Amino acid sequence: MMTCREAARAASQALDGPLPLRRRLGLALHLSMCRACARYVREVRALHRLLQEWARRADAPAGAVDTRLSPEDRERIRRALLEAAGSA
């Protein structure tokens, strides 16, 4: 029987590629009997899906950061760009 530590490892790896059959079955069996691991896996998968969905909206990272470039940074970058454009 797979331990919780091993189940958590296998669940993570399953997010990044297919698991070998034996490990996949071992994980499924463990999760069917262990509430703590089932909960862990549910949350890690939820986070995975959430981030994927979020990353797909590259043009509008929903509520990601409310931060903006400072006026000084904007001015500095603008100048650098104009200079580069002029000499390019």
Partner 1 sequence: MTPARGALPDPGEWVDLYGDLLFRYALTRVADPELARDLVQEALLAAVQARGSFSGRSAPATWLVGILKHKIIDHFRRTAREAPSDGRDPEPDLFEPDGRWRAGPQQWRTDPALVMDRHEFWRALRGCLAELPPRQAGVFVLRELEGLETGEICQVFGVTPTNAWVLLHRARLGLRQCLERAGFRAAGEESSR
Please tell me whether residue 24 binds partner 1 under the rule CB under 8 A: no
Q: Give one DSSP letter per residue of 16-55, joined into a string.
A: TSPPPHHHHHHHHHHHHH-HHHHHHHHHHHHHHHHHHHHH
Please tell me whether residue 54 binds partner 1 under the rule CB under 8 A: yes
Please tell me whether residue 81 binds partner 1 under the rule CB under 8 A: yes
Size of the site for partner 1 (CB under 8 A): 50
What residue ranges bind partner 1 (CB under 8 A)?
3-6, 8-9, 12-13, 15-17, 35-37, 39-40, 43-44, 46-55, 58-59, 61-69, 73-74, 76-78, 80-82, 84-85, 88
